[in-house]
Homo-oligomer: A and B are copies of this chain.
Amino acid sequence: MNWNKIIECVPNFSEGRDLAKIDQIVAPFRARPGVKLLDYSNDEDHNRLVVTVVGEPQALRDAVIEAIGVAVRVIDLNHHKGQHPRMGAVDVVPFIPIKNTTMKEADALANQVAETVGRLYDLPVFLYEKSATAPHRENLAAVRKGEFEGLVAKFKLPEWIPDFGPIHPHPTAGAVAIGARMPLIAYNINLSTNNLEIATNIAKNIRHSNGGLHYVKAMGVELTERGITQVSINMTDYSRTALYRAFELTRIEARRYGVSIVGSEIIGLVPMEALVDTAAYYLGLENFSMQQVLETHLME
């Protein structure tokens, strides 16, 4: 990979079961110059497909626009059932600056894609996260509230006029949220208790919405097979709320219940910097710079 600028995109599509359709949606990311498909995984319970792709900005933009077009054509939300909340055939399309790119450039790319798919596919688009045009549109959960079935009612509210595309839902593809955001780390901390209430309380204490860490979303989860529970975390900006801070605060909160941490796990991809920063914290590294990491130079 010899690209100067790299942006990541993690589009979520509302199709987790029909492998032929999934193949069609993923096809625009394959064997394309300037684009590399890193991963895609479909979940049958969630009836959802998550694609992870990196690329040069323009090449990535064109591939994403094409894939959205395929999904709008082959997915009909009127017949979609799954555990995961969704408001569109293409539910959410985040753009993440990875290398030699700023959040501003990711935002510009999100806007280009939003404008194009609104126009080409007659699809209403909400800009969200760092691309949001108003504070109440930053949070994806708020944007998606009411889901596909609630879009007609939502569009009658002046505060939910879409940013691009028509002011009515697409009949089969609903609406889509597009925006720039920081890399998200899915991070779970396992506890030495099978008491879900304890995990839930700890999750509440560490998360932003209940007085905890700014860039942490968290909930308690039961791991029935292992007979333990878990604080399941989304780290929404590891550069501001460090991974080790969520870990150490969970340990501190768990102490209240005489519970300890038995381990933790990272789901999917994690930026090198998040782990290097964690190592630097525990080793108490002085004057350390990412330029000292050999791989930083190998990617130049």
Contacts and interface: CB of A to CB of B under 8 A. Distances in A.
Most chain B CB atoms below 10 A, which of A263, A278, A300: A278
Contact of A276 (B54, B264, B279, B285): B279
A183 B278 CA distance: 21
Which bracket fits the contact residues of A? 35 or more
Interface in A256-300: 261-266, 268-272, 275-276, 278-280, 282-288, 292-295, 297-300
B266 A295 contact: no
B266 A292 contact: yes
A270 B297 contact: no
Contacts of A2: 1-2
Contact of A263 (B54, B268, B284, B294): B284
A183 to B, nearest CB: 7
Given A2-B1, A98-B298, A265-B286, A293 B272 contact: yes
Nearest to A300: B1
A287 B265 contact: yes
A262 B286 CA distance: 10
A244 interface: yes
A271 B279 CA distance: 13
B295 A299 contact: yes
Interface string A33-58: 00010100000000000000010000
A270 B294 contact: yes
A243 interface: yes
A6 interface: yes
Nearest to A278: B279
A54 B295 contact: no
A99 interface: yes
Interface in A119-178: none
Contact of A278 (B271, B282, B299): B282
Nearest to A187: B283
Given A1-B298, A269-B292, A271-B295, 16 more contacts: A2-B2, A38-B297, A99-B298, A244-B282, A263-B284, A263-B285, A263-B286, A264-B283, A264-B285, A264-B286, A269-B293, A269-B297, A270-B294, A275-B280, A278-B282, A299-B299
19 contacts: A1-B298, A244-B279, A264-B286, A265-B285, A266-B292, A269-B292, A269-B294, A270-B294, A271-B294, A272-B293, A275-B276, A275-B279, A275-B293, A276-B279, A278-B278, A279-B282, A282-B282, A295-B295, A295-B299
